[in-house]
Amino acid sequence: MTPVIELEGLGVRFGKRDILKGLTCSLSGRTIGLLGPNGAGKSTLINTLLGFHKPSSGTARIFGHDIRSKITHVRSVVGYMPENDAFIANMTAVAFVRLMGELSGLPSEAALERAHEALFYVGLGEARYRKVGTYSLGMKQLAKLAQAIVHGPKLIILDEPTNGLDPPARQRMVRMIKEMRDAHDVHIVLCSHLLRDVEETCEEVLILKEGRIVHYSNLEEERRANRRFVEMEPIGDTAGLALALEGLGCECAFSGGQRLKAVLSEGIEIRDIYRLAAERDIQLRRLNYRRDTLEDIFLKAMETN
């Protein structure tokens, strides 16, 4: 199976400054989250994949097509929803989306037909003849999504698609991302500061920091790996309880004074913790059965030097 995106020692330099530094990875998920703090290189990576920046070293491939030699083909199979507005305000939405379809390689009549379909799909069918400049923020986000999908791309890059949306509009956008992921032969790259959006929709996550990859994970595998993670607050011989758990093969660590964290080994259940505590006359004031969230994963990645 050909990976969706392959990065092979990809570097980008602006003047004397290295923005992307030897990125190497292979991404094949249906939905891929791209995360990182401001200045991490996320936008530079997107613009490089789209051919707007030339690599200073290495290369990248989308569906096996090298961005150095096949960028025209790459652009024909990629839809891009930018973070910033890039509208012609006096154009109607249907005229604008049609234009974007034509720029993506569709014949004029086919572009018009697909523009109507795309606007109805995102919920702007009744407003498609209004000028884009009169749209609300939420409607402009939907129009940007419509122009990204009008030509039927195999990969859609969404840059902050829920930025500035109120809760109902955000829910609609997230729902459409899930629908596209589940119902169509399309892959999605979602770049967002809202970790909740990524956690709800993405299968894989790539985290950048200072132009480097600091973490990659398959979220489903990550969740399974953390499914037996326990936090507790014992009162009494906490160190003795930790030693007893470690004797059963669990990994333990202290945090915040009396708080004890443990990764349960195979075959160890919550009832075993209560048994060990009772044998040592230890009171368990609090016990939470949890897993690492995407926020935990992100914060750990940000600690990476």
CATH number at residue 263: 3.30.70.100
Whole-angstrom distance, CA of residue 12 vs CA of residue 211: 9
Q: Where a domain ends, among 193, 222, 251?
A: 222
pLDDT in tens, 166-218: 899 899 999 999 999 988 789 999 998 889 899 889 999 999 999 999 999 88
Number of structural domains (the chain) is 2
Task: Tell me: do 67 and 197 sit in the same domain.
Answer: yes
Task: Tell me: do 163 and 82 sit in the same domain.
Answer: yes
Task: Tell me: do 145 and 279 sit in the same domain.
Answer: no
pLDDT surpassing 80 at residue 255: no
Q: 39: Cβ–Cβ under 8 A, 6 or more apart, which residues?
A: 210
Mean pLDDT across 113-138: 95
Mean pLDDT across 252-279: 83
Q: Where a domain ends, among 165, 199, 222?
A: 222
Going by pLDDT thresholds of 50, 70 and 90, the confidence category of residue 305 is: low
pLDDT surpassing 70 at residue 225: no
Q: Where a domain ends, among 187, 222, 257?
A: 222
Task: Tell me: do 162 and 256 sit in the same domain.
Answer: no
Task: Tell me: do 55 and 175 sit in the same domain.
Answer: yes
Going by pLDDT thresholds of 50, 70 and 90, the confidence category of residue 227 is: low
Going by pLDDT thresholds of 50, 70 and 90, the confidence category of residue 266 is: confident
The confidence score (pLDDT) of residue 260 equals 87
Whole-angstrom distance, CA of residue 199 vs CA of residue 193: 11
Task: Tell me: do 159 and 230 sit in the same domain.
Answer: no
Q: How many CA atoms, within 13 angstroms, populate the side-chain half-sphere of residue 54?
A: 4
Task: Tell me: do 285 and 203 sit in the same domain.
Answer: no
Task: Tell me: do 207 and 247 sit in the same domain.
Answer: no
The confidence score (pLDDT) of residue 188 equals 96
* Domain around 41: 5-222
Question: Structure tokens of 208?
Answer: 């950048």
